[in-house]
Amino acid sequence: MRLKKYYIIPVLWIVLFAAARLCYGGEIAVIVNKDNAIEDVSFRELVRIFKMEKKFWDDGKQIYLVVQGSPSPEEEAVLKMVYKMDGQELKKFWLARIYQGAIPSFPKVIASNESVKAFVRQVPNAVGYIDAAYADDNVKVLKIDGKLPGEDGYKLADG
Work out whether the CA dihedral 107, 110, 112, 113 comes out positive or negative: negative
What separation in angstroms does the CA of 54 have from each of 1, 44, 57, 83, 126?
55, 11, 8, 14, 13
What is the mean pLDDT of the segment spanning 58-65? 94
Other beta carbons within 10 angstroms of residue 157's beta carbon come to: 19
pLDDT value at position 15? 46
Sheet containing 126-131: order of strands: 108-110, 64-68, 126-131, 28-32, 140-141
Is the pLDDT confidence value at 77 over 70? yes
78-126 confidence digits (pLDDT tens): 999 999 999 999 999 999 999 999 999 999 999 899 999 999 999 999 9
In three-state secondary structure terms, 79 is: helix
Domains of the chain (ranges plus CATH)?
26-144 (3.40.190.10)
